[in-house]
Structure 1
């Protein structure tokens, strides 16, 4: 009988990175319900009204981006798989993006009133800078080539999220909102794997292009990054000017934009390095889990652009 539907065989691996990424993602599985967010209420009450407003808005923005990634982003990538095991990895990534989006609502329900939550989502769903970056990325998901969609995904996960991640990492570095930051660190840990894996898949396809096609795609990629950065700078100023953190956030953004390019196998664009980033932020990223034994077997320490315990390290930035 002719085969109608083919079963996935995990004993016949075409690309070892599919298997190692699947194992990494399943090892570090987590849920927001295991984090005692209510323990941060004392810290929350001590924040100024401007700081509370900032926290609500950055998490609202992150919720929007994770929602888009879970609903349309991974679905777009799934159309261009190279192996059946790659699709299984995308299934895992899609689920965890939904976990990320839900986690922000857990934070809201702990820290904010119903009216405040409604105001946060009203702002999120109408903010011009948020909507513009969602439109730019989503249009690529809908109409771009297989490689363009991977570029958009890596830029989203390794660059655009970080204007929002700065706030909880800053508070963590100042011994505030430790449990809120714990969730963000777990999300960062996931996104680091997502970005490096999808970047690796991009590199495979990029190497198969003719030289002229490579050059055209490379120019498109850098033009896209400029466009996204211009919008992200405006978004950052609208959020952070009130608390005086804008310039530090922009450095952090440029540093992560470089990491996104490196995940795609290309040279950094900006001069900013880890040494230029506020050390409080870098310390917040690299600090291991201290609160929850549930996670101790896998750890959630994260250095930007690296994935701990991924054995095939050389695939992250170049093949």
Structure 2
């Protein structure tokens, strides 16, 4: 049991604030305003995959080449595995280290939505592929060494890392490692194809941007409490992890995307989001070839459009009920 909430007595100046056994969460007494703001943001943008008419993309799917369909299937099964890991281990691994009860409530929401994300890919698969094709792609993903390496590397930190290392692993997963899989649907969206598939991806990206920035903020609170020596030690560990994951990501991107000639463009997008992950943690962008101006503009347009502005704390709105979502802006990656 976590001692934070299961103490026999929590001493205080008067009995009105004592806790005998279990502490009730009080949303009228907020210790960190960002907990409440994040909770409200996540609950306001709640969505389910079943409300997006993915089957309407079947004509577009049939027009793709075998290689293009293979790219999307492999990208999505990789995303499924990582979302499964995040829903089963990620939030749970950080529960014992929360600063507030409200932070744990936010983690509960994150955990559930990661399960929604993982399920969403199955909705896409069943809408566009046969059962036999789905079985083959899941078999490929569950046995692909590069995908499994990502999962193993992150989960080892979840199981054995320090509280701050766990947050780094989660931010890297949510803000960086997912994006090699996101590239393809965003590219097709920019070319007016697979629009409903891309709507699901945009909704997932919108969630992940909140998850990454929130956990990055919580990391910074703890990081700023460390001594300078401890900060430097942790930074060395962070960059070593980044380089290791990036090396694996280069191999994965080559394996998946080389058949359509997109390897270089995808890696530029991956580095762009690795920079975003570092910024979520409070560090400077590292990859000069991952700056926004280097990313394929078609993909950037798939994230944000001039015709629609998306405020980080805006509501989902009634338009969601007919399978629409608001576009992402550059600022959506940051608090």
After TM superposition, is the score higher than 0.5?
yes
In the TM superposition, structure 1's runs of 4+ consecutive aligned residues that sit over 6 Å from their partners are none
How far off is 1:122 after superposition?
0.2
Conservation of the 8 A alpha-carbon contact between 1:166 and 1:281: yes
- Bigger mean CA deviation after superposition, 71-80 or 179-188: 71-80
Conservation of the 8 A alpha-carbon contact between 2:202 and 2:325: no
Does residue 149 of the first structure (1) align with residue 166 of the second (2)? yes
Correspondence list, 1:74-93, <5 A: 74-93=91-110
How far off is 1:302 after superposition?
1.3
Match of 2:184 in 1: 167
Of 275, 285, 290, 2:303 maps to 285
Match of 1:4 in 2: 21
Q: Can you list the C-alpha shifts for 1:201-242, whole angstroms capped at 9, x where unaligned?
A: 000000000110000000100110000000000000000100
Match of 1:310 in 2: none
Match of 2:12 in 1: none
Q: Can you list the C-alpha shifts for 1:287-307, whole angstroms capped at 9, x where unaligned?
A: 459xx82369x9532134625
Q: Which runs of 5+ in 1 are unaligned?
A: 308-312
**Aligned partner of residue 70 in structure 2, secondary structure:** helix
Query: For residues 136 and 37 of structure 1, what CA distance do their matches in structure 2 show?
Result: 33
Match of 1:300 in 2: 326
Match of 1:239 in 2: 256
Query: For residues 181 and 97 of structure 1, what CA distance do their matches in structure 2 show?
Result: 17
Match of 2:113 in 1: 96
Correspondence list, 1:189-204, <5 A: 189-204=206-221
Match of 1:23 in 2: 40
How far off is 1:78 after superposition?
1.3
Conservation of the 8 A alpha-carbon contact between 1:192 and 1:304: no
Q: Which runs of 5+ in 2 are unaligned?
A: 1-17, 311-317
Query: For residues 273 and 260 of structure 1, what CA distance do their matches in structure 2 show?
Result: 13
Query: For residues 281 and 37 of structure 1, what CA distance do their matches in structure 2 show?
Result: 20
Match of 2:195 in 1: 178
Q: Can you list the C-alpha shifts for 1:129-152, whole angstroms capped at 9, x where unaligned?
A: 000011000000000000000000
Q: In the superposition, relative to structure 1, how do residues 130 and 278 fare at CA in structure 2: closer, same or farther (>3 Å)?
A: same
Of 112, 117, 123, 2:129 maps to 112
Q: Give the paired residue count.
A: 307
Q: TM-score, normalised by structure 2?
A: 0.89
Q: Can you list the C-alpha shifts for 1:81-139, whole angstroms capped at 9, x where unaligned?
A: 00000000000000000000000000001000000000010001000100001100000
Query: For residues 2 and 168 of structure 1, what CA distance do their matches in structure 2 show?
Result: 51
**Aligned partner of residue 285 in structure 2, secondary structure:** coil
Of 183, 192, 205, 1:188 maps to 205
Q: TM-score, normalised by structure 1?
A: 0.93
Q: Can you list the C-alpha shifts for 1:253-283, whole angstroms capped at 9, x where unaligned?
A: 1110000000000111110211100000000
Q: In the superposition, relative to structure 1, how do residues 2 and 158 fare at CA in structure 2: closer, same or farther (>3 Å)?
A: closer
